[in-house]
Amino acid sequence: MALTFGGGPLATRPPETANYSIDGPAHRLFRHDFPRRVRALLGGEVVLDSDDAKLLHESNLLPQLYVPRADVRADLLEGSSHSTHCPFKGDATYRSVRVGERVAENAVWSYPAPTPEAPWLAEHVAVYWDSMDAWFDEDEEVFGHIRDPYHRVDVRETGRHVRVLTGDVVVAESRRAKVLSETGLPNRYYLPPCDVRVELLEPSATHTVCPYKGTTSYRGLRGAEGVIPDAAWSYPEPLDDARAVGGHWCFLAEGVRTEVD
């Protein structure tokens, strides 16, 4: 995301605060070696196992992992009539993955005859992340999508006065928050639970997964006009880069504002 979004050099719109221009197409591709072994599993079977994976960065898209065709279990693949066309990469052909009674339809795609601008896609295939049961970066399971080496998360302590309000009601107030800076995103302030009116938080079944921070638990926020759904979130067991915000609360929703002095 650092390269392909938010004014990065591979984004469609280049940043205004730069003393360079890129002589090339508006839609850009950049492929580089992924440095570690990756595996994907379906129904208990290893579908993909590669220590020669490539990461393709493409304008305005998340990075996509490609592996040599030989690193995908050919005996688990079934033909498909499905195809798509990309003006930047070429015509894609698809394969389904079958493991016993489990079928991941059109889960694998490749560009057998890629465009002249992307010849290095030939003999490589990609797999839809959500089509597999599990993905591993070396022996660590990865959720959401493969981590981009150009994406960064930093957490710092701050003594700034942070207040969270809905209407005139102060929901949280702290001078010991954590500020989390993440590539391409605005700063987020995480407040310790002792500085949050937790009695205003309502249970929620919503959970999301961030490959850089971990699994998020949400809460609704009780305001003057009713409950604002999923207005607060926390990482009970964050990943290493976000460990400092574990158990803290962050707020973002329509009708909720965060003030920082």
| DSSP code, position 82 | E
Of 261, 146, 259, the residue nearest 210 (C-alpha): 146
Distance, CA of 197 to CA of 185 (rounded, Å): 26
Give the pLDDT of residue 1: 55
Contact 231, 251 (CB under 8 A): yes
The predicted structure's pLDDT at residue 10: 81
pLDDT single digits (tens) 71-124: 999 999 999 999 999 999 999 999 999 999 999 999 999 999 999 999 999 999
210 by Cβ neighbours in 10 Å (0-12 / 13-18 / 19+) ranks as: middle
Instruction: Determine the Cα–Cα distance for residues 260 and 245; give it in Å rounded to an integer.
Output: 18
Q: Which domains, from first to last, does the chain contain?
A: 29-142 (2.170.150.40), 153-260 (2.170.150.40)
Q: What is the CA radius of gyration of the chain?
A: 22
- Side chain identity, residue 85: H
Nearest alpha-carbon partner for 161 in 199, 200, 182, 189: 189
| pLDDT tens digit at each of 261 positions of the chain | 578 876 778 887 767 788 877 777 888 999 999 999 999 999 999 999 999 999 999 998 889 999 999 999 999 999 999 999 999 999 999 999 999 999 999 999 999 999 999 999 999 999 999 999 999 999 999 998 999 999 999 999 999 999 999 999 999 999 999 999 999 899 999 999 999 999 999 999 999 999 999 999 999 999 878 999 999 999 999 999 999 999 999 999 999 999 999
What's the CA gap between 247 and 119, in Å, rounded? 47
